């Protein structure tokens, strides 16, 4: 899939992500297929590369299965770094002060697209 195809094809239907929940999708970005973590916040969806800045591991413990702390942060399954779901900043753990790499998204007609 080329980048242009990737930007015109929806990543996932909004309704497939629970409000306050996560989904994992793959998308062509800069010529590579990348795993993304998507987080739904009402009608909005935020996304980041599914790569932890600590040791480069995936954030999910199984494909699409992400941990959320009681404080509402995304928790890396590898060593427990916590990330703000507002801006992807690491707020606690071994990479505190670093951040996830954001992927711009938009929601149109009930579908999530790369922006």
Of 44, 55, 102, 115, the residue at the interface with ligand FES (CB under 6 A) is 55
d(CA 23, CA 12): 9
d(CA 12, CA 25): 8
Residue whose pair of structure tokens reads 């990479």 in the numeric block: 95
Piece in contact with ligand FES (CB under 6 A), picked from 13-21, 33-41, 76-84, 106-114? 76-84
In the window 3-42, what residues touch ligand FES (CB under 6 A)?
A: none
Least distance from ligand FES to the Cβ atom of residue 87, Å: 17
Cβ-based neighbours of 70, under 8 Å, separated by 6 or more = none
User: Which two tokens mark 61?
Assistant: 């413990």
Residue placing its CB nearer to ligand FES in the complex, 27 or 59: 59
Binding site for ligand FES (CB under 6 A): 52, 54-55, 57, 76, 78-81, 93-94
């Amino acid at each position: 899939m080329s980048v242009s195809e990737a930007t015109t094809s929806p990543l996932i239907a909004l309704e497939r992500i629970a409000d306050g929940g996560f989904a994992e999708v793959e998308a062509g970005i800069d010529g590579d297929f990348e795993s993304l973590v998507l987080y739904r916040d009402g009608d909005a969806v935020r996304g980041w590369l599914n790569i932890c800045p600590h040791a480069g591991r995936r954030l999910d413990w199984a494909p699409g299965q992400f941990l959320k702390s009681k404080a509402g942060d995304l928790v890396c399954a590898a060593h427990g770094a916590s990330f703000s779901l507002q801006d992807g900043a690491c707020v606690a753990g071994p990479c505190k002060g670093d951040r996830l790499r954001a992927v711009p998204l938009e929601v149109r007609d009930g579908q999530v697209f790369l922006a």
